[in-house]
Amino acid sequence: MFSKILIANRGEIAVRVIKTCRRLGIATVVVYSDADAGSLAVEMADETVHIGPSPAAQSYLVADKIIAACKQTGAQAIHPGFGFLSENAGFAQRCADEGIVFIGPNSGAISAMGDKIESKKFAQKAGVSCVPGHIGEIADTAEAVKISEEIGYPVMIKASAGGGGKGIRVAWTRQDVEEGFPAVRAEAKASFGDDRIFIEKFIESPRHIEIQVLGDKHGNVVHLFERECSIQRRNQKVIEEAPSPLLDEATRAAMGAQAVALAKAVNYDSAGTVEFVAGQDKSFFFLEMNTRLQVEHPVTELITGLDLVEQMILSAAGEKMAFEQKDLKINGWAIESRIYAEDPYRKFLPSIGRLVRYDPPSEGEKDGYKVRNDAGVREGDEISMFYDPMISKLCTWAPTRIAAIDGMGRALEDFHIEGLGQNIPFLAAVMDQQRFRSGKISTNYIKDEFAEGFHGTEPTPEQIDILTAVGAAMQRVYAARARSNASGLASAARDEWIVFVGHAKRRVKVAGEGDITIELLDEGRVLNLTDIDWRPGKPVFKAALDGKAFTVQASPAAEGFTIRHRATKARVLVLTPRSAELHGKLPEKQAADTSKLVLSPMPGLVVSMDVAAGQQVREGEVVCVLEAMKMQNIIRAERDGVVKAVNAKGGDPVAADEVLVEFA
């Protein structure tokens, strides 16, 4: 067994590998760029080595620097994590040539399956069912258009070396190919150092199901069942679960057998994932193989009880697998939600910045479910524009799928982040959405269910009760403080109030000190608020309403509070009857007119400015291209008009909401 391992990665995956190494008694070395100098992974590692500037192309993707760090520290093996050099066959071979163990599959397996183009060719030769497409390199946009029209729209344009949702576009028209092909090529070059592209038929209403495989150096390969990753946005996985609600035992066995056969054919000897696109009728086609650990591996660990990082280390050390396929069973259900630094209310655009508050739910056993949170950040850390915007991976496990979903909903309630946009409200909306709960999903789910974007959800009757009770309870505390400060002694509390939850108006009577009751005077009901955990200044309010636990995010606002429960956010006003009467006469504030402005939707770098002053622009035409979080974002005109002024040029850094273009 190894005594020291170098982790050639960053963020939560580096922290994840360190935790397993600590349990196994293995010392760790973490390499880091300028942006990661103060990271949690650097703090946790036994040794660290600085490898250069923040851009990955100058640090984490430079094999010479990784090898030099390994030799400098005396590490015997390198764990590449996922992304960066994890699927680089040349790097795996370089490690072997240098006498360093690569904790991953052998370079031959990576070459055969890690490259998307070569893996398609190999799978076809092996008799594996594949999605129709052009398996080969594409020279330029003109050839891409020709191939796409031969296959038939829609098609998917994919980077050969891609992964993690990067370097992928779905093209529905010739124009989509003409715009998407160069964008995918640029993303591929920037993210993977490889700009080869292939095109395949895009299957509509598909499901994304993948089989986790595990091999050793003695020819043994097993599968660890499936994960469903159909909840995706822009081909980036958002929510994963294991097992899949689609599969029956026969389909599961067939997919598993095909994945194992494919892995054995290339002498696979580590953890890897065989990905399939599946129809609603349970038909399935080989999509690609990821020759590395997956972001979503925790859900497989939760249903099998295995530590996949440990299994990779054991395999790399030459140890024989300690179990066979017949020994493996599915236990319960697991859900993973990816917590991203992005603003769901602004079309999920990246939201970089500092984690002013970072308070995740506590891990471990809860009431009927378990919580696990894999993260590489702490309060005060910065989410950098140089890397993926993932903050953490929140997982729940329970005996059944619905219990795991309900547990995830509660865990998301308990997750509090301030300082940047994050997608927790959106994830909570999915957990409450009936279609997701039914299991009748596809990769079109987000596009179908949130066609107009995400704007939060309307409160349910239960949520209106929660918001009413919380607002009344908070007002009671603030009012008592105000009376005490004014007189030096606490005076009698007002007990009747008018509570507005959005436009809903309720007359209430509040009583009690520790636990309180809220009588709904016009409804003949009483709400009982118990187990209150809150004080002024605390942004999270925890309690139980009529015996059911909940958590909301709450902060003071003019005349009341801003309160969010899951995906529902409302301004809650708690007023005296006279104030409520006057409030109804106030005019509504009008939003500023920005229809003649093109604003930067995110902080980033202007790749190209495609319009000039005086130019006539039609709705839908490209105005400029911005790059953030390694993704290129095409900004289009939302109206016809003549350009009055252009305020940025290619190469300029821009902030969120900065005016890029003004129309006359």
Question: What is residue 589's DSSP assignment?
Answer: P
Q: How far is the C-alpha of 40 from the C-alpha of 2, rounded, in Å?
A: 23
**Beta-sheet strands, E only, within 243-381:** 271-278, 284-290, 333-340, 342-343, 349-350, 353-354, 357-359, 364-365, 370-375
Element (H, E) at 583: helix 577-583
**Both tokens of residue 169?**
């576009």
At residue 499, φ and ψ (nearest 5 deg) are: -110, 125
Q: State the virtual CA torsion across 199, 200, 203, 206 in degrees, nearest 10.
A: -80
Asked if residues 633 and 602 have their Cβ atoms less than 8 Å apart, the reply is yes
Q: Which amino acid is at 571?
A: R
Of 84, 92, 90, 73, which is closest to residue 29 (Cα–Cα)?
A: 73
Q: Say which of 200, 228, 240, 288 is annotated catalytic.
A: 288
Q: How far is the C-alpha of 243 from the C-alpha of 225, rounded, in Å?
A: 7
3-state secondary structure at position 25: coil
**Both tokens of residue 47?**
């040794």
**Both tokens of residue 591?**
């939003």
Cα–Cα distance list, 607 to 331, 376, 384, 628 (Å): 48, 29, 18, 10
3-state secondary structure at position 570: strand
Max CA distance (Å), the chain: 86
Asked if residues 661 and 611 have their Cβ atoms less than 8 Å apart, the reply is yes
Residue 433 has a CB neighbour count (10 Å cut-off) of 17
Asked if residues 64 and 42 have their Cβ atoms less than 8 Å apart, the reply is no
Residue 443 has a CB neighbour count (10 Å cut-off) of 24
Asked if residues 122 and 128 have their Cβ atoms less than 8 Å apart, the reply is no
**Both tokens of residue 642?**
């003549």
Helix 174-192 to helix 141-151 angle, to the nearest 10 degrees? 120
Q: How far is the C-alpha of 112 from the C-alpha of 126, rounded, in Å?
A: 12
**Both tokens of residue 174?**
């010739």
Q: Is 296 a catalytic residue?
A: no
Q: How far is the C-alpha of 339 from the C-alpha of 143, rounded, in Å?
A: 38
**Beta-sheet strands, E only, within 353-419:** 353-354, 357-359, 364-365, 370-375, 382-383, 390-398, 416-418
Taking only Cα atoms into account, the Rg of the chain, rounded to an integer number of angstroms, comes to 27
Residue 484 has a CB neighbour count (10 Å cut-off) of 12
Asked if residues 427 and 352 have their Cβ atoms less than 8 Å apart, the reply is no
Task: Write out the catalytic residue numbers.
Answer: 288
